[in-house]
Structure formats: structure tokens, C-alpha cells
Amino acid sequence: MTKPQSSSAGISRRKFIQYSSLAVGSGIVAACSNGSSTQSSVDLGENPIKVGVMYSTTGTIAIVEKSLQDATFLAIEQINTGTGPWEGNGEGIGGRKIQKVVVNPDSNWDLYNQMSKRLIEEDKVVCILGCYTSASRKSVLPVFEDKDAILYYPVYYEGNECSSNVFYTGAAPNQQITDSIPYCHKNFGSKGFFIGSDYIYPKESNRIAKAELEKIGGKVVGDEYAALGTTEFITIINKIKAAKPDFVLSNLVGDSIPAFYRQFKDAGITSDKIPIMAYPTTEEEIQAMGPEYSSGHYTSFNYFQTVDTPENKLFVKQFQEMFGGNRVTNGVMEAAYLQTFFMAQAMKKVFDEGGELNTGTIREATRGQEFNAPQGRVKIDPENYHTYLYSRIGKWKEDGQAEIVFSTDAAVKPIAWSQTLYKGRTCVHPTPDTRVDPTVETGKDLEPKYLS
């Protein structure tokens, strides 16, 4: 597997000036260095398909978003060379290779909004792969809905959203929160202390998790939030000590994760006394903090590097061949990887049926796509545009890898709305999608369903 060229390799002067101006206008110069078109290491041939790739490789969220970009680059390389999961389909999609147009929003929500406009209006990409935080997704959502463009979004999130312009390939609340809270209640105790970074995802996710805990008879003994990027947690840790919870539910993100785990242990709190159950803490953050700080704590996710499937063994091997043997894989990277194949399969379907690529054809062709992902077989739900995913819980070991202590037998049907807070509310997009409000109030309990 050949390595991709650096982002700067394909910068045209015009593009450089465009994104430099955009970044400086927002008071951020660092973003401009990666605001450019990026060419693949392979010959793109005639009439390549322009796809936007929008992840931050600088700023407080870069610790994880760079890994999403890497996983996306691996998938695009495999599609363009007809290798990996794309073997047997030839090089590219219907003979046309993907030209990735890469931007770096520098962990700045305003830049996500502005760069998505540029990608759609000026670069004329057919769709965009990107965003990590819910704050960035919320920042760009009005752009995609106004321009009627498609975003493939690869991150677990708080749910309570259903757009005709977004395909959600990370976990919905019922694929991450719904199993993890009963697990904590059963194995650790009834008292939970909730922490998170101070923006929409941690607050909404914790609101759902707290409701799930109280529904089964548990008690919330603390609820604290820290500004995004905070690395000082002594005050919150003292509050945790005073509250004496049975477990901590953490929705800290980015650079705050390593800092919190280190200070938690340095304060004398070990995992056998107060275990941490987290959603955003993955192999990537654990490698950054040192596994001695996470050992014995837990994460609820759809994918771990230790998932035992042939597809995952190949994914890990090929990723490390491309980016280095010391690199780890994690859940959001896997979602970024699998969604690129959802996109490619949808484009192939459009071409096979004699169509042309535009928002309408890509949207309809993406509905119902299935893929043998590293985590197992997954599927885009054709009604709500979220993804059937496995639910798993991992206990972190001393080597920084997870022992999977809970897993569903098959991918779980996604439910966009928390059923604890919004009983019976669901989402059904019409066919073809006319972009009307897809919200449906059934008033009934929705039974769990699995991919058969």
C-alpha cells in the first residue's frame, strides 16, 4: 500500500489564497495550510469524482479527527486501486476515481460552516465525508439542508435528529447508551456521577444516560461539565470523591480525556474503586495517555481493535501498513472507513442503473446499503438514514486494548430518538425522499430489532 502525498502537495495558488483568506477572516491562520485539494498517489485519470474530506488536523479535536481522516484516505486509496474490500470492482467507481478535496477546519465550528460552503459551491464536490463533534455537525447542517447536499457523518452522537441531507454512520443512543447504563447499574452499583465537555453532545448524551439510569432505579449523584479543551480537573475530581459514586460516566472529548484519566489516577482513585464508563475514550486516546491510566476502566462502542473478524484483521493490517505499525484503530475510524464504502457502493449503483451523480441519486442509492465492515455486517437503515451497528462494551487492559465483555449477536437497528425521553418517536423518510419532516409519533414502545 502506497502512502498518500502530503496535503500540501496539491495546493493550487488560487485554493491557497481562498482558504487562507477564509481562515484569517476567522482569526485562525493554522487552518489554511491544509485548506487544499489533495491528489491521490495514483493517477486519477479522466473525469474523477470530487469528494470533500473535512476533518480537523489541528486544534483541540485533532487528537481524534486526524485518525478519521487517515481511515478515510485508506478507504479512498483502496477504492481507487481496486484493493481491500473494493477488490473485484476494478479501479475507481465505474471507471472513475475519487479525487479527495481536503480541508482542515482547525477544530473551529465556524470554519466547518464556511469550509462546507466552499466545498459545495466552489469546489463542486458531489458529497462530503466529515465532522466529528456534534457542534461541528450542527454548524454545517443548515448549509447542507439549504444547498441540498449530502454529508456522511461517522460519529456516535446524541440522536434526536433526522435530516434528509445526512447519513449517520456512528452510534445512535440505542446502540451505545441503552446497553451501557444497565451494565453499570448491574455491575458497579446504582449511583452514577456524570461528566462531559461543555457542548451539545456531552450534555444531551448525559441527559439521556441520566434518564436511563433513573428509569431502572439508579441515582444521579453528580453532573459536571468542563470547557472544551480543559486539562485541569482537580475541582471536578474532588467533587467526585465527595459524592462517592459507584461509577463515573464520562463524555469528555479531545485533549481533556488523557488529562482527566491521569489526574483521576494521580488522585488515588483506581478502577476497582470507581470505574469510568466512557463513550469517547478509544484506543487512540488511550495510546496518547498511556494504558496504565485506563486499565480496568470501560468504554461502550460498536467497534474495538480486538473485534475478532477476518475483515477487522485485514483492516488493522492494511491501516498499519499505510500509516505505521505503531498506530491503533478505533470505533470512529472504523465508521469513517465503512461510510466511505457506503458512499462508493451508492455511486456504483447510480452508474450501474445508468444515472448521473447528484444529491438526489446518491441519497436514494445510499438507502439500504450493506457492507461487511470490520465490526461485522452493517446496513444503512433506508427509513431513518442511521446505521445498523453492533453494541459492545470493552474493559481496557494494561496493553491499551479492550477485552470485550458485552456484545450483541448482530447489528442493532438504529433509533434516532431516545425512547426514554421521547417514547414512540421515530423517523421515516418517504421514498423518494421529498425532504418533508420525517418525524413520526407512534406513541408505542419500539421493540429492538437486529440485522438478519
What are the Cα distances from residue 171, in Å, to 165, 303, 359, 389? 18, 10, 24, 7
Are the beta carbons of 381 and 429 closer than 8 angstroms? no
3-class secondary structure, 280: coil
407-416 residue pLDDT tens: 999 999 999 9
Determine which helix (DSSP H) or strand (DSSP E) holds 422, and give its type and residue range: none
Determine which helix (DSSP H) or strand (DSSP E) holds 19, and give its type and residue range: helix 13-25
pLDDT at 1 over 70: no
Unique residue bearing C-alpha cell 445510499: 366
Q: Which three cell numbers stand for residue 151?
A: 454529508
Q: What span, in angstroms and rounded, lies between the C-alpha atoms of 180 and 158?
A: 14
Across the range 158-171, mean pLDDT stands at 96
How high does pLDDT run on average in the chain? Answer: 91
Q: What is the pTM of this model?
A: 0.90
When pLDDT is cut at 50, 70 and 90, the band that residue 40 belongs to is low
When pLDDT is cut at 50, 70 and 90, the band that residue 41 belongs to is low
Name the strands in the sheet holding 402-407, side by side, starting at the edge strand that comes first in the sequence. 219-226, 191-197, 247-251, 276-278, 298-301, 392-396, 402-407
Q: What span, in angstroms and rounded, lies between the C-alpha atoms of 299 and 295?
A: 11
185-208 residue pLDDT tens: 999 999 999 999 999 999 999 999
When pLDDT is cut at 50, 70 and 90, the band that residue 296 belongs to is very high
For 121, other C-beta atoms within 10 Å of its C-beta total 12
Q: Which three cell numbers stand for residue 31?
A: 487552518
pLDDT at 39 over 80: no
Are the beta carbons of 80 and 106 closer than 8 angstroms? no
Q: Which three cell numbers stand for residue 358?
A: 447528484
Q: Which of 50-64, 291-305, 339-353 has the lowest mean pLDDT?
A: 50-64
When pLDDT is cut at 50, 70 and 90, the band that residue 32 belongs to is very low
pLDDT at 233 over 80: yes
Determine which helix (DSSP H) or strand (DSSP E) holds 376, and give its type and residue range: strand 376-380
313-369 residue pLDDT tens: 999 999 999 999 999 999 999 999 999 999 999 999 999 999 999 999 999 999 999
Q: Is the pLDDT higher at 31 or at 380?
A: 380
Are the beta carbons of 235 and 263 closer than 8 angstroms? no
Q: What span, in angstroms and rounded, lies between the C-alpha atoms of 399 and 318?
A: 21
Are the beta carbons of 248 and 299 closer than 8 angstroms? no
Pick the closest to residue 131 from 182, 68, 177 (CA basis). Answer: 68
Please enumerate in sequence order all residues whose Cβ is within 8 A of that of 312, keeping only pairs 6 or more positions apart, or say none.
Answer: 303, 305, 374, 375
What are the Cα distances from residue 428, in Å, to 368, 371, 390? 13, 22, 22
409 phi and psi angles, rounded to 5 deg: -80, -15
3-class secondary structure, 423: coil
Q: What span, in angstroms and rounded, lies between the C-alpha atoms of 122 and 145?
A: 17
When pLDDT is cut at 50, 70 and 90, the band that residue 64 belongs to is confident
434-445 residue pLDDT tens: 999 999 999 999
